[in-house]
Amino acid sequence: MRITVLTVLAFLATLPLSSVAADAVRGRTLYEARCNLCHSSSVHSRNPRTAQDFDGIRIQVRRWAVETGTGWSPGEIDDVSVYLNRQYYRFRCPAALCGNEQASIAR
C-alpha cells in the first residue's frame, strides 16, 4: 500500500505544473530523436535566422515536421517550438504555451 502511494506521488511529480503549458522536456526528446540528423544546434543561432519570433519558430518546426514525415500532432509541434525557444531563441512566447516562464524571458 505504501509503495502504491509513493508510486502515485512520483507519477504526479512528473506532470507539468500547468496542463495548458507545452512540455519543453518532451519537445527536447522529440527534437533529438528526429531533427538532429542534418543540423546541429548552430542553425538556431545563425545570423540571420529564419525564425524572427515565436510564431516563426513554430512555422519552421511544422514545416520540418511535415517534410521529414514525423506525424507530430499540433501539441508535439508546440512542445518542440517551446523547447527550441527556451534553448536558443528566447522570443516572447504566448502564456498559454510557456506559462509563467514568459515573464523570465528577456527579449
Q: Based on the shown chain and the rule CB under 6 A, indicate whether residue 10 belongs to the binding site for ligand HEC.
A: no
Are residues 85 and 99 in contact, defined by beta-carbon separation less than 8 angstroms?
no
Residue 27: name the closest of 93, 77, 64 by CA: 77
Listed ranges 5-13, 14-22, 40-48, 95-103: which one lies at the site for ligand HEC (CB under 6 A):
40-48
Q: Which of 26, 28, 44, 86 binds ligand HEC (CB under 6 A)?
A: 44
Q: Using CB under 6 A, count the residues that bind ligand HEC.
A: 20
Alpha helices, H only, 14-99: 24-34, 54-67, 74-84, 95-98
Cα–Cα distance for residue pair 44/90, rounded to 1 Å: 11
Please, which of residues 20-39 interact with ligand HEC by CB under 6 A? 31, 34-35, 37-39
Cα–Cα distance for residue pair 24/3, rounded to 1 Å: 29
- Residue numbers at the binding site for ligand HEC (CB under 6 A): 31, 34-35, 37-39, 43-44, 46, 49-51, 57, 60-61, 64-65, 68, 70, 80
